[in-house]
Amino acid sequence: EKGGYEHFMAKEIMEQPKAFRDTVFPRIQDGRVVLDDLNLDGDYLRETDKIYIIACGSSYHVGMVAKYILEKLLRKPVEVSLASEFRYCDPLVTEKTLCIVISQSGETIDTLAALREAKRLGARILSIVNVVGSSIARESDDVLYTWAGPEIAVATTKAYSTQLAVIYLIALRFAELLGTISGEIYDHIVSELLTIPTKMEHILENREAIQYYASIYFNHESIFFIGRNIDYAIGLEGSLKLKEISYIHSEAYAAGELKHGTISLIEQGTLVVALASCTQLFDKLMSNVVEVKSRGADVLGLTVESRAEAMKKTVDHAILVPDTHPMLLPSLDVLPMQLFAYYVALMRGCDIDKPRNLAKSVTVE
Ligand code: F6R
């Protein structure tokens, strides 16, 4: 049932191009995003003054990426909240709020309770869920399913990727309904979206390089992920994946925040994973890399192929992903992060599919 792989996690990592295709391709017809399962129109969206995204864990990290994308394309304020915090913060939610609830299982108790609270306050609920007929799906006004198939490994991979995919679809469709996107940009993003599964396959086929980096660094006891903007959101997910299955202490930082405290932890041999796929922030990130290198850090960088030469000058090792529209890069960036966590955990002899102290679905508070 593991399809020839040693772990469900490896199988599920490799299934991502298919899961992405299954989630996205049927919803693109003649170059347009078609969300038949969504009952929202342009009038409703124009009236909506705020989008509130609610989730836990990796699903929350999808929300962090979504904030950048939705605010850029829709020009509406987007707030992202951990479900466990939302419930107790007296949230500013009204009938003009659209709540996007993200959950693989559809049963996470904090997320479900937050959904109910948002509903009570009058918000409309759009959920992104993988398990058909789950509690969150049943209690939402609209549901967009991720067609990732069953996810067995505790650490999410393919569900994360398909949640991101649905965010792209929502962003494109809402921007079209609101008239906040030009035809040219819309067409460009849609055509790039269709290339993502092939680009994912390319990254997965070249996984030996990531395995090699894991073999160099698997003995580290503390690892930092730095990035800006969407790269920061990917750093959060890379860090969570790593600590969850390999038990290495790791932290993700917005690169510009390093010098406000964390840089004091950087010393000879500390591994810093520097995410620099956002090309408009590439130079800024590289100056952070120079700072950590001068304090003795080893740097494993990640960027797009077109920046390979510029990056290799500064970092110890560079992971490359194919170029695409910046909005879609998270779908490519996250794969090397998952693979790195997987190989590091493998080399440390960890119980990858069932990490200690964790359950697949968190149904108690
Ligand atoms: C991390 C992971 C968890 C889940 C979180 C939310 O790899 O899997 O952080 O993302 O427990 O679960 P769902 O999406 O089922 O609500």
Identify which of 7, 12, 101, 104 to mutate to test ligand 1's pocket (most ligand atoms within 8 A of the CB): 104
Number of other residues whose CB lies within 10 A of the CB of residue 190? 18
Residue nearest to atom 4 of ligand 1 (CA): 57
**309-331 as b/e: b if 16+ CB within 10 A:** eebeebbbbbbbbbbbbbbbbbb
* Residues in the ligand 1 pocket, defined by CB under 6 Å: 56-59, 103-105, 108, 111, 155-156, 240, 244, 361-362
Note the pLDDT of residue 359.
85
CA distances from 277 to 38, 51, 93, 308 (A): 32, 26, 34, 10
Note the pLDDT of residue 362.
86
Identify which of 12, 140, 156, 342 to mutate to test ligand 1's pocket (most ligand atoms within 8 A of the CB): 156
Q: How far apart are CA 253 and CA 30, in angstroms?
A: 41
**141-164 as b/e: b if 16+ CB within 10 A:** ebbbbbbbeebebbbbbbbbbbbb
Number of other residues whose CB lies within 10 A of the CB of residue 362? 17
Q: How far is the CA of 268 from the centre of ligand 1 (A)?
A: 34
**23-41 as b/e: b if 16+ CB within 10 A:** bbeebbeeeebebeebebe
Q: How far is the CA of 54 from the centre of ligand 1 (A)?
A: 12
Cα atoms in the 13 Å half-sphere on the side-chain side of 5:
17
Cα 103–Cα 94–Cα 179 angle in degrees, nearest 5: 75
Residue nearest to atom 5 of ligand 1 (CA): 57
Q: How far apart are CA 35 and CA 27, in angstroms?
A: 6
For 210: left if phi > 0, alpha if psi spans -120 to 50, otherwise beta; the answer is alpha
Q: What is the pLDDT along the chain (365 residues), one digit of tens a residue?
A: 898 999 999 999 999 999 999 999 999 999 999 999 899 999 999 999 999 999 999 999 999 999 999 999 999 999 999 999 998 999 999 999 999 999 999 999 999 999 999 999 999 999 999 999 999 999 999 999 999 999 999 999 999 999 999 999 999 999 999 999 999 999 999 999 999 999 999 999 999 999 999 999 999 999 999 999 999 999 999 999 999 999 999 999 999 999 898 888 899 989 999 999 998 999 999 999 999 999 999 999 999 999 999 999 999 999 999 999 999 999 999 999 999 999 999 999 999 989 888 888 888 88
Contact (Cβ atoms closer than 8 angstroms) between residue 135 and residue 112:
yes
Q: How far is the CA of 106 from the centre of ligand 1 (A)?
A: 10
Q: Which residues are catalytic?
A: 360
Is 108 exposed, middle or buried, given 0-12, 13-18 or 19+ CB atoms closer than 10 A?
buried
Identify which of 56, 82, 112 to mutate to test ligand 1's pocket (most ligand atoms within 8 A of the CB): 56
Q: How far is the CA of 9 from the centre of ligand 1 (A)?
A: 14
| pTM for the whole structure | 0.97
Q: How far is the CA of 1 from the centre of ligand 1 (A)?
A: 22
Indicate which atom in ligand 1 lies nearest the CA of residue 155. Answer: 7
**ipTM greater than 0.90, yes or no?**
yes
Residue nearest to atom 10 of ligand 1 (CA): 58
Q: Which residues contact 26 (CB under 8 A, 6 or more apart)?
A: none
Q: How far is the CA of 161 from the centre of ligand 1 (A)?
A: 12
